[in-house]
Amino acid sequence: MSLWRKPRACALNAPLLPIPLACRVPVELLADPIFMAVAVIGVCLLGISKGGFLGLGVMALPLMSLFVPPLQAAAIILPTAIAQDVLTLWVYRREWSAWNLKIMLPAMFAGMFVAWLMAASLSAVHIRLAIGLIAALFVLRHWTAKRFERWIPKPSVATGIVFGAIGGITTMLANAGGPAWQIHLLPQKLEKLPYIGTVSILFAASNVVKIPGFLTLGYLTRDNFLIGLTLVPIAVLANFLGIWMVRRVSTEMFFRIAYILMFIIAVELIRGSVVDLWWR
């Protein structure tokens, strides 16, 4: 039996398996140095991304999904993401595009609802496979963007709705709404601050909507939430670290390494999921 086939969140009284669990209990996670190290790396990536290395945070969930069910990982990092959103929204509170938000927010909410329905019926291994595919496509899009730039549709109400909804689906399942939203926003060549502010509002709104979504799916338990809270101070420090690093580190080299690592993680998620689905 696959270790990733349980479709819902971990029940604390679920029987333990002898090897990595379909549902991992909080006490075990806190005592697992490998998981905690990965969780710290994940929230640091989120923080550095919020600090200025936009896109880097997409790595966090695929990385943590190597060790726990994907939606449990998403629930654990949700408190850190919300804490970082509060800081980011305060900084960019007067900088955002009202026209884009009027179009994209309703579409994003609709996409998140579709993803919630999908998550309720899919097993953890299917969600893990989806996250691997999304992460791989994200990297491939980055590597081939210039070749296909002329094929990207011009921004319009239609693209705002389509890519707003797609971003809603991917942010709910894989914490990766940014790539879809960028397809609509980047060609508009917004000023830097309104662009960051608009994306920050989309992320913040999606994270708030995830609270009832993960609660109804059974993943946002008190214990998972408390694990996330223990990571908040690290996440906030990482946020400031990102602000400091973006002024001192070669952005091109940093992202080159990050995308390679992310692609390796994505391949491993896909490989493990395919093995679980068809060869076990």
pLDDT digit string (tens) for 35-61? 888 888 888 888 877 766 666 777 788
Per-residue model confidence (pLDDT) at position 206: 96
pLDDT beyond 70 at 76:
yes
Residue 128 CA to residue 173 CA, distance in Å, equals: 9
Q: How is 39-100 classified by DSSP, letter by letter?
A: HHHHHHHHHHHHHT-TTGGGGHHHHHTTTS-HHHHHHHHHHHHHHHHHHHHHHTTT---HHH
Mean pLDDT of 160-171: 92
Mean pLDDT of 13-17: 35
pLDDT beyond 90 at 161:
yes
Per-residue model confidence (pLDDT) at position 24: 55
More confident residue, 10 or 25: 25
Per-residue model confidence (pLDDT) at position 66: 82
214-268 pLDDT per residue, tens? 999 888 888 888 889 989 998 888 877 876 775 676 667 766 776 787 788 788 8
